[in-house]
Structure 1
């Protein structure tokens, strides 16, 4: 019961705020559908045979009535769709003023058009607070004389809405035609839902449970407060409906349908069909994405193996949405689930390949902000290159940048951010010769003994030769680091207290990093 009350309060907030939120939305107090006046509370009040008398809420006489039903529940709102007239002999009406006001507010929050009470039976005295609330909210409260059976009122309402039933059935049949449009016309999402909006009389929004757009081309609702907070929430909201979009494993999101001004909304059954069409379109989009994802992973794997010639590579990338002639960049991303990575890059054409804990991403350089915004990400991006060029160098650059990201705590590092790189030759053979000439002896010693001399020297230099800080990063005692630096100097023949030797070692370390010759994640003994 408390959950339904909270839903009622949430709907009331939405009702008050929604007048500015959706200018195209039709409010029930307008009651016009497609140029024809539905039966209103005022119409029923004017029927002599019903002998109804208005007790309060005159501002709501223009509210339309879709149905009239007897309820003696203190809270019937979970079973209401909106625009009903509730009739009661008074058993549902609380005896106290606060309870009566709360009862009326619950009904209004659920979109009830009017409350008809038989005051001559079980109805307790109606307090001023109750009548004042009806006036404030514009919810008509009608008195039904004992001589008029409730069924007479229900028959009048049913007769008035009978004509509209045929229009709703026609709309349902036409919405079914959307399946044919999907099969024959290959409509995109935006065009499909424009047609469905014209047929149904609703403005349609689609979103995930978190409020993000569910399908490309279909906007998310401007006010997320209409989304349900519990699985069994009623579908009706002020001015329309909210329904889950079914998917394997649970709802993929929600379809929100608001009545459009000047249209004839076709009702809940049609909105349910719209949700089914949205689920089908979502399944098609997911299948297409999965197909492209697999093709993209295969293409990226072949690029990394230099298995594609330049022309074939450009054609493949263009088909997968990447620029045929524009620059692309390779990134290595760690510590991010596949789902989060996919969401972050949803608006950027890209290819993804999984290699162990790494995710290789080929995209335009413009995807960098999306990667940098990933929580907990460790990512490195290569320099931009033209599709069709060898990817091996970009792979080394991205791996080096990812290692710098892990060490520095920055979520994304671009290769080339280090100004030292501009002084290094671009030829891998020249880089290799520099690294081997200066660092060869230390590299071979590390490989033979499982030590970390090169990593220790590089970390010390990157921390501006602050021994205690570098030792903390390496998780060793400062004395251990000092010993490693002495051993490194012995093997390389470079005195690290000399500016010339220090410069030569720094450039050689950068060359080795660019070629992927030093892995900071490697373990080892003190050396």
Structure 2
């Protein structure tokens, strides 16, 4: 199993304890229950380290653990190999795990699980193998769907190509709501009753559902970051997909779920710019004003922000700042001299607004 596959499966020792088929009992090392588990390995060697790759449950009946020193050595070897837990099969050698092994595992925060006599060690490897196979099948289906949705988004396939997938999951073709989320945030196992088409294309997971409420609930459950396309009929799917991906990019910069409607705003546009793209507005406008204020005890930045907030209304700004209009005009002239942008000119006012937003 690769590291990527193990990450997708997201199984911990604590979750393994909840598997009803194994009926495991934790007897030591409770502090390590969040350790990830990817496989099971059975051994009666005192030093199994050379045969471990990490994140295993090491299964033993304790044939070599005949005294406290051996118990401690075995636990240290398992721990040093980055294995996740020890599963001690009771009944073959002893009716319970040795006290010395429990003590050693507690010292190392290494979970020690007792395995009932009626549970064969082979059942662990079979269970992990089945789980991995299932995960591969699910991942393959998601990737195939993701490639199809990407083709639809780019105009290389008709939205009608998605209709069969919608029908299989009980979705109606109108309206379709598209949610884009980071692929790593999607759980390996998704409740089949949620009624959704899920595709993964690279780092982006695309989810098709029928209601915005449903999409928002899933986005919140999967980390609170996502992009939501405008709901629409199936023939608008390419646009909905494109909107959701753009909204996801904005979401990853600013946090929260971003809707497509948020993209067609001043803040939405600026939020899609990279830091180096807005740096000139900070260097040429925001910083000279802030430096001048610091050196002369003036309030040019505050004046400009208030002026922009009133839509460039001299009278309203004067009242809000308790200034005479001529005093305000003098400050605006100083701002123009320092930045080369006239606050009374619309185009220059846009540049000034960008600088104030970038330096917020």
Which TM class, normalised by the smaller chain length? 0.3 to 0.5
Pair member with larger Rg: 1
Q: Structure 2-normalised TM-score?
A: 0.34
